[in-house]
Amino acid sequence: MSRYQRREKAINENEMYDKLLKDRGVKRIEQHRTPDLLPAEDEALSLIETQAHFWSMGDSYWKLSTLYYGDPVHWWVIASFNKRPTEAHNMIGDRLDIPVNLAEALQVVG
């Protein structure tokens, strides 16, 4: 299942983008919104075993989810656990804490 199927969509037809829309030959662009993730309590997060991952060039949450959990669907767990909702909130060298036990992490951030 695509990670976008349940995401809210927005239509961008703002006149500010007239040239871009014209260049693409479209009147509007449909975009997927970034989900609102509620941060988990620090105390609950501290009880979960993690392993460190340092953000590097080419990283994305879905790639990390695939690497650590074998499935890109759980990208949002990593984002929520680290209280960084999008990849843009990370810089090269930033430390991310990856929950070792996905089931435990889902109990806290899910």
The pLDDT of residue 61 is 97
Q: How many domains does the chain have?
A: 2
Question: 30 lies in a domain?
Answer: yes
pLDDT of 41: 82
> Does 56 fall in a domain?
yes
On whether both 55 and 95 belong to a single domain, the answer is yes
Instruction: Indicate if 105 and 82 belong to the same structural domain.
Output: yes
- Provide the terminal-to-terminal Cα distance of the chain, rounded to the nearest Å: 18
pLDDT at 26: 87
Are the CB atoms for 98 and 59 separated by under 8 Å? no
Same domain, 65 and 82: yes
Same domain, 102 and 67: yes
One domain for residues 89 and 47: yes
* Between 61 and 17, residue with greater pLDDT: 61
Instruction: Express each pLDDT in 70-91 by its tens digit.
Output: 999 999 999 999 999 899 999 9
Indicate whether 97 and 57 sit together in one domain: yes
In a shared domain, residues 104 and 78: yes
Specify the higher pLDDT residue, 6 or 3.
6
* Stretch 49-72: mean pLDDT: 97
One-letter identity of residue 35? P
Residue 99, pLDDT above cutoff 60: yes
Tell whether the model's pLDDT for residue 6 goes beyond 80.
no
Same domain, yes or no: 17 and 47:
no
Question: What range defines the domain where residue 66 resides?
Answer: 42-109
Q: According to the model, what pLDDT value does residue 109 have? A: 84
